[in-house]
Structure 1
Amino acid sequence: MVLDLLAPFAAQLQKPTLAFLFGGMALAALGSRLEIPEPVYRFIVVLLMLKIGLGAGISLREANPAEIALPALIAVVLGIAIVLLGRVTLARAPGIAPADGMATAGLFGAVSASTLAAAMVMLEADDMTYEAWVPALYPFMDIPALLTAIVLAQMARGGTVRIGAILADSARGAAVSALGLGLVLGIVARPDAVHAEFYEPLFRGLLTILMLVMGMEAWSRLAELRHSAHAHAAYALTAPLVHGALGFGLGYGAHLATGFSAGGVVLLAVMAASSSDISGPPTLRAAIPQANPAAYLGASTSLGTPMALLTIPLWMALAQVVM
C-alpha cells in the first residue's frame, strides 16, 4: 500500500502544476527580478473561478438535488470544524495571541481557489472523474469558516457580532463573486459554447502562471513567518494533512452513503486541506484588525499553500487504493 501511494505522488511532482510552483520558489530563492503584476494575478484568478463556476452551473442544470445535499452539508461542517479545531490548538498555544490564532484558523478553514483549480487539472490529467458540480461546494466551506473565525474573535474581545455584515463582505470577495456569477450563468443561461471554446483551453495555461506566482510569493513570505511564533509554522505544516484527512474521511462516508465519486472525495479533501489565498485575507484584515497579518498570511502562503498542493497526489493515491 505504501508503494501504491508513493508512485503516483512522485509522478505528480513532475507534472506542470507542481513543477511551476517549485519553479517560482526557485526563482525567488535565486533573487530573480521576474514579476507578475498584481492586476494580472487577480485577473487570472477571476478567469479561473468563472470557468469553475460556469462548469459547475452547467452540470447543476441536470443534477439531482438529493446528490448534492450531503456533500454540501459536509462542506459546511468541515469549514466550521477546522476553525473550531484551530481555536483549541493554535489559538491556545503558548506565545500565540488569540486574535492571530483565530485569523490563521479562519484562513485554513476557508478554501484556496488556486489549490482547487490545481486539483481539478491533476484529476483530469489522470482521468479521475468527479461530479462537475463539486467545485460549487467552495462557498459552502469558505463562508462558514470565515464567519466562524470572525464571530469567535469578536466574542473573545467582547465586541458586537454583525453576522449579516460578515456574510455580505465574504460574498463580495473576488473569488466567491466570480464563482457565484459563473454558477448562476451556467444554470440560467446557455454558456456551454463559450465555456468550451474560451475558458476550457485557457484553464491549464493560466493555472501554471498562477502556480509560478504562488511559488515566488510563498518563498518571499518565509521571512514574515520567521518573526512569528514557531507554533504558526508547526500548524501550517501539519494542518493541511489533518484537515485533508478529515475531509477525505467525511467524503468517503458520502461515497458509501450516496455513491459520491472518488474524484469528488479528493476535491473535498483538497478544499479542506487548502487555506484561503484570495477571499480570506482582505475579509479577515477588515474584520479582525487586531490580528497580525505577518502571522496568518505567512503561515498560510509560505507553508500552508505549498503543503496543501503537495497533498493532492496523496489524496489521489489514497482514493485509488481504498476506492
Structure 2
Amino acid sequence: MTGLFENLTNPALLFFILGVVASQIKNDLSIPENSSKFISIYLLLSIGFKGGNELSHSDAGGEIYWSLLLGIFLAAVVPVFTYFILRRKLNTENSGAVAAAYGSVSAVTFVTAISFLEFKTATFGGHMIAVMALMEAPAIVVGIMLINTFRDSKDKDDKISFGGVLKHSLNNASVYLIIGSLIIGYLASDQQAEGIKPFTTDIFKGFLSVFLLDMGIRSGRHLGGIKENSWFLLLFGIFIPFVNGTAALLLASLITESVGNILLFAILGASASYIAVPAAMKNAVPKANPGIYLPMALGITFPVNVIIGIPFYFYLIEKIL
C-alpha cells in the first residue's frame, strides 16, 4: 500500500486538495472567471494537440478500433444500470439526468489522469483522446431515451428532440476544441510540433495546478448541497465511480497491455460529466433538478476520482499486470 500513498504526492492533486480546504474554511481565495476559462481552453487544446501528434505516429491497428468501441459501449451501458439504481430514490427525470452524467465523462478528470501518468513517466496512446471525445454524446442520448421511455404516461406527449440533443452534444465547446486540436496535432509535422512544444508541454503542469486549485474551490462549495439532499446520493457519488472504473479497467486490460491506456479507461468509466451533461439537460429536460446531478458530479465524484481514484487504479493496474 506504500506505493498507493506515494501516488498522492502529485503536486497537481495536492493543489486540488488545497482548494477544497480553502472553500471549507471559508477562505476568500479564488481564481478570476476569465482566467479559469482561458486555462481550461489551454488544457483542452494542449492535450488534444499532443494526443493527435502521438496518434499520427501510431499504426491504426486493432487496439485502436477496440478502444473506440469499448468507449462507446461504456458510455451506453453505464447510464442504463445506474438509472435503475437511482430510480429507487429519484423520479424519472432526475434519474435519467444523473445516469447520463455518470455515463458521460469529465475532460478535466481525464486531463488530470494524463498529468498523473506524466508524473509517473507512463505513456498512453493518442487515440485515447478520441475515445474520450466519443463518450460524451452516447451517454446523453441514452439518458434521454430512458426518460422518454419511463416517464409518467401523462407526460408521454412531451417528447424530447433527439436531433437537438445530439447536435448540442456534438457541438459542445469542449468536444469541438479537443477534436479540432486532435486533428491539428495529427496533421502537424514533427518539426512543427517541436516548435510549439514550450506552449503545449513545458508549461502544461503549471497551468494544470492552477486549474485544479480552482476546481478544488468549486468542488468544496458544492459539498453542502449533497449533504442536504440525501445520504443515498452521497454514497452513490462515492462508490459508483469505483464500480464503473474497476469494470472499465478490467475490460480495457483485455484489449491493451498499456498501463497508461488502462488507467485512462478506468478514469473515463469512473468520471461524471459536470459540463456537457448539465448544459444538455438544462435545455432538454428542464424538470431535472441541477441541484442534484451537478453537485453529485462536481462536489463528490470529481474529488473522489482526483484524490483517491487515479492513484488507486494505477496501483491496481500495477498489481494486475
Q: What are the Cα deviations for residues 164-208 of structure 1, in whole angstroms up to 9, with x where unaligned?
A: 222210122221111011012122344513541211122111111
Q: What are the Cα deviations for residues 131-179 of structure 1, in whole angstroms up to 9, with x where unaligned?
A: 2322221122222112211222233342334332222101222211110
Partner-residue secondary structure (3-state), 1:221: helix
Check whether the contact 2:248–2:265 (CA below 8 A) recurs between aligned residues: yes
2:160 aligned with 1:164, yes or no?
A: no
Corresponding residue of 1:3:
none
The total of aligned residue pairs comes to 312
CA separation of 1:275/1:220 partners in 2, compared to 1, >3 Å: closer, same or farther? same
Corresponding residue of 1:108:
102
Corresponding residue of 2:88:
93
Corresponding residue of 2:249:
248
2:273 aligned with 1:267, yes or no?
A: no
CA separation of 1:11/1:170 partners in 2, compared to 1, >3 Å: closer, same or farther? same
Shift of 1:62: 3.1
Q: Distance in 1 between matches of 2:258 and 2:52?
A: 18
Shift of 1:109: 1.2
Corresponding residue of 1:21:
16
Q: Distance in 2 between matches of 1:249 and 1:11?
A: 23
Corresponding residue of 2:278:
281
Q: Distance in 1 between matches of 2:60 and 2:164?
A: 29
Amino acid paired to 1:264: N
Corresponding residue of 2:130:
136
Q: Distance in 1 between matches of 2:196 and 2:141?
A: 32
Corresponding residue of 2:231:
230
Corresponding residue of 2:184:
185
Check whether the contact 1:80–1:109 (CA below 8 A) recurs between aligned residues: yes
Q: What are the Cα deviations for residues 211-237 of structure 1, in whole angstroms up to 9, with x where unaligned?
A: 111111111111221332322111101
Corresponding residue of 2:174:
175
Shift of 1:118: 0.9
CA separation of 1:107/1:194 partners in 2, compared to 1, >3 Å: closer, same or farther? farther
Partner-residue secondary structure (3-state), 1:275: coil
* Percent of aligned pairs with the same amino acid: 26
Q: What are the Cα deviations for residues 254-289 of structure 1, in whole angstroms up to 9, with x where unaligned?
A: 12xxxx412101111011111113322212222221
Shift of 1:77: 0.5
Computed over aligned residues only, the root mean square deviation of the Cα atoms, in angstroms, reads 1.6
1:27-106 equivalence runs, <5 A: 27-66=22-61, 67-90=63-86, 92-94=87-89, 96-106=90-100
Check whether the contact 2:51–2:127 (CA below 8 A) recurs between aligned residues: yes
Check whether the contact 2:12–2:208 (CA below 8 A) recurs between aligned residues: yes
Corresponding residue of 1:320:
318
Q: Distance in 1 between matches of 2:18 and 2:107?
A: 20
Check whether the contact 2:129–2:182 (CA below 8 A) recurs between aligned residues: no
Shift of 1:54: 0.8
Amino acid paired to 2:273: S
**Which stretch of the first structure deviates more once superposed, 221-230 or 68-77?**
221-230
Check whether the contact 2:47–2:200 (CA below 8 A) recurs between aligned residues: no
Q: Distance in 2 between matches of 1:285 and 1:226?
A: 23
Q: Distance in 2 between matches of 1:209 and 1:123?
A: 18
Corresponding residue of 2:211:
210
Partner-residue secondary structure (3-state), 1:89: helix
Amino acid paired to 1:186: G
Corresponding residue of 2:197:
196
Q: Distance in 2 between matches of 1:274 and 1:106?
A: 11
CA separation of 1:160/1:65 partners in 2, compared to 1, >3 Å: closer, same or farther? farther
TM-score normalised by length of structure 2: 0.92
Q: Which runs of 5+ in 1 are unaligned?
A: 1-5
Q: Distance in 1 between matches of 2:83 and 2:172?
A: 24
CA separation of 1:188/1:26 partners in 2, compared to 1, >3 Å: closer, same or farther? same
